[in-house]
Amino acid sequence: MPRQRAPRRKVTIIGAGNVGATVAQRIVEAGLADVVLLDIVPGLPQGKALDLAEAGPLLGHDVSVIGTNDYADTSDSAVVVVTSGLARQPGMSRDDLLLKNAQIVNNVVEQAAKHSPNSVLVIVTNPLDAMCHVALKASGFPRWRVIGMAGVLDAARFRTFVALELGVSPANTSAFVLGGHGDTMVPIPRYSTVGGVPLTQLLSPDAIERIVERTRNGGAEIVALLKSGSAFYAPGAATAEMVDAILEDRHKILPCSALLKGEYGVDGLYVGVPIRLSRVGVDEIVEVELTEEERAAFQKSAESVRELVATLGTFA
């Protein structure tokens, strides 16, 4: 008699490219959930999923990982990660990707939401904050179940540069970033710490400004080095951190793109803010005090997201 294993909780990852496959690898290796990898290209998700499964005996993971081009296989996922779209090429801004990726995200989210109506959507495709608007509309989900990944990555980059500057372990650092994903992101050094000590007591204003600038250009720095494609190891790890917080109901406070309804003085816009992330998605938007200068930088960042959303037309 053929034996069938009872299905475990399931995570669907749409887009089996660099970021999607890396997220899949992290989830599978952590044994977090069964993974379905979906792509529009026949064979690509199937090949990558099989390759990941074949690493199981060596690494000791035993969750199921399958590749598919059919949304029926994604049914009843707890979390759907959207990485499908075009990546930036050198000289191309995130915003150039806007309309092309809006079409793709609209299409994939419509189908994924139909098959997993109770899922939490984690959006990764750029331009990130604008794509969250597209996903919110295409899914018809409440705002707390559509979340964007950007701040976790931006904070990780900031922490990396702080650790390099001070010669300390990256694990010893914490960072606080706000705002849209892109050149207007707003790292807040006085809420960023090393071993609990605010960064402003450990580094000069000039050194902090240098690190802030490098963080803002973190994505572009890697695009320029790679010459084709964009970052995926850190983006994959950042996305997996969010998926873990949702699946394990961790109530972690993480910087993510969430739809604001008056919080931080912004209404009806996805912008990066600290949220409490749990199995329901956004459990709470955490508001902190900002100085006049920080508030102005945050508003400027929100404005640049608003301009992008305006060009989305019927997609948002």
Ligand X SMILES: NC(=O)c1ccc[n+]([C@@H]2O[C@H](COP(=O)([O-])OP(=O)(O)OC[C@H]3O[C@@H](n4cnc5c(N)ncnc54)[C@H](O)[C@@H]3O)[C@@H](O)[C@H]2O)c1
Binding site for ligand X (CB under 6 A): 14-20, 39-41, 44, 83-88, 101, 104, 107-108, 124-126, 128, 149-150, 153, 181, 229-232, 235
Give me the phi and psi of 90, to 5 degrees please.
-55, 140
Beta carbons within 8 Å of 122's beta carbon, 6+ residues apart: 79, 80, 81, 82, 147, 148, 149, 239, 242, 243, 246
Residue 16 or 52: the one with the smaller Cβ distance to ligand X is 16
Q: State the DSSP code for 11.
A: E
Tell me the closest approach of the beta carbon of residue 296 to ligand X, in angstroms.
24
Q: Which two tokens stand for residue 233?
A: 């190891």
Tell me the closest approach of the beta carbon of residue 48 to ligand X, in angstroms.
9
Cα angle, residue 214 at apex, residues 211 and 218 outer, rounded to 5°: 135
Residue positions annotated with a catalytic role:
181
Tell me the closest approach of the beta carbon of residue 152 to ligand X, in angstroms.
8
In the chain, beta strands by DSSP E: 10-14, 34-38, 65-68, 79-82, 120-123, 146-148, 173-174, 177-178, 186-187, 193-194, 197-198, 252-261, 267-278, 281-285
Tell me the closest approach of the beta carbon of residue 33 to ligand X, in angstroms.
20
CA 13 to chain CA mean position, Å? 12
Cα angle, residue 98 at apex, residues 92 and 101 outer, rounded to 5°: 105
Beta carbons within 8 Å of 166's beta carbon, 6+ residues apart: 194, 202, 203
How is 203-219 classified by DSSP, letter by letter?
A: S-HHHHHHHHHHHHTHH
Tell me the closest approach of the beta carbon of residue 251 to ligand X, in angstroms.
23
Tell me the closest approach of the beta carbon of residue 74 to ligand X, in angstroms.
11
Residue 156 or 302: the one with the smaller Cβ distance to ligand X is 156
Residue 42 or 265: the one with the smaller Cβ distance to ligand X is 42
Residue 194 or 223: the one with the smaller Cβ distance to ligand X is 223
- The residue number whose beta carbon is nearest to ligand X equals 17
Q: What is the number of H-type helices and E-type strands within the chain?
A: 10, 14
Kind and range of the H or E run holding 23: helix 18-30
**Integer-rounded Cα radius of gyration of the chain:** 19
Kind and range of the H or E run holding 8: none
Residue 160 or 202: the one with the smaller Cβ distance to ligand X is 160
Residue 78 or 122: the one with the smaller Cβ distance to ligand X is 122
